[in-house]
Amino acid sequence: MVIPIHKVTATEAIVVSLKERIQGGEFGPGDRLPSEQFLLQEYAVSRLTLREALAKLSASGIIQVYQGKGAFVKSEISVQALDNVLIPMFPGRNLNRMKELEEARSLIESELAARAAEKRTEKQVAWLESLMIFEDEFNEDPEAYAERDYQFHLALAEVADNQFFLAMYQALYQQIGRFLVQYARSIKNRKEALERHRPILNAIIDQDIEKARSLARAHSGICSSYVKKMLINNGAK
């Protein structure tokens, strides 16, 4: 039996090669890639082919191309690249995937709260406390509720001071946001729901790491229970 193989174009081959070189450490975060002329000699391809490859790497969030300066490896984690990975999962259309999203949220948010408790400064505490001031719109508008809920946990990600955690949480924005809007529409007192953040914040203020972790996990469990109800009502397993 002949097993079919997929031929790759020269553009795709350059993309793979440069990815491997970056991953291998030949070019690190913030490093400038070799000049266009040098890369043309290395890969023996046309200028159009090389530029297409660099454009693909740029679109993937791996490099940044500056006119007249060259191409540089991104020094920050690309939220865009992580978001593109998550697009095919469509948790908003698949309740089982939504359940998996909530499980992932529970793990991430509990660790964010724990790290925030460990690392928070007085200035950051004041910022977090400002997110606990609620206007009437949060009780009337499910989208306003969803945005404030997300912003509180995103703030914890920033206080946690870990670029990987922060990028992962930012990449989940669209997915989490859609779920939170659905959840907001199912509850009557949204300001009361947002108040559930306060015990987490108090544990962070007290720098009680384990308490912050357990409270954040219990908080996420409320949303997980909502997803389970949805699964039961829709006859899913």
Question: Tokens for 79?
Answer: 């939220």
Domain containing residue 141: CATH number: 1.20.120.530
Residue 174 lies in a domain: yes
| 44, 75, 106 - which closes a domain | 75
Q: Is the pLDDT of residue 202 over 90?
A: yes
Res. 92 pLDDT band, cuts 50 70 90:
low
Radius of gyration of the chain (CA): 22
Phi and psi at residue 37, in whole multiples of 5°?
-60, -40
Nearest to 50 by CA among 85, 94, 13, 84: 13
Res. 88 pLDDT band, cuts 50 70 90:
low
Q: Left (φ > 0), alpha (ψ -120 to 50) or beta: where does 61 sit?
A: left
- Domain count along the chain: 2
Spatial distance between the Cα atoms of 15 and 54, rounded to a whole number of angstroms: 7
Assess contact for 236 and 96: CB atoms under 8 A: yes
What is residue 140's predicted lDDT score, i.e. its pLDDT?
A: 85
**Statement to judge: residues 182 and 151 lie in one domain:** yes
**Statement to judge: residues 165 and 114 lie in one domain:** yes
Q: Which domain holds residue 68?
A: 10-75
Is-above-0.95 flag for pTM?
A: no
What is residue 134's predicted lDDT score, i.e. its pLDDT?
A: 83
DSSP string, 141-152: -HHHHHHHHHHH
Strands 70-73 and 63-66, how do they pair? Answer: antiparallel
Domain containing residue 18: CATH number: 1.10.10.10
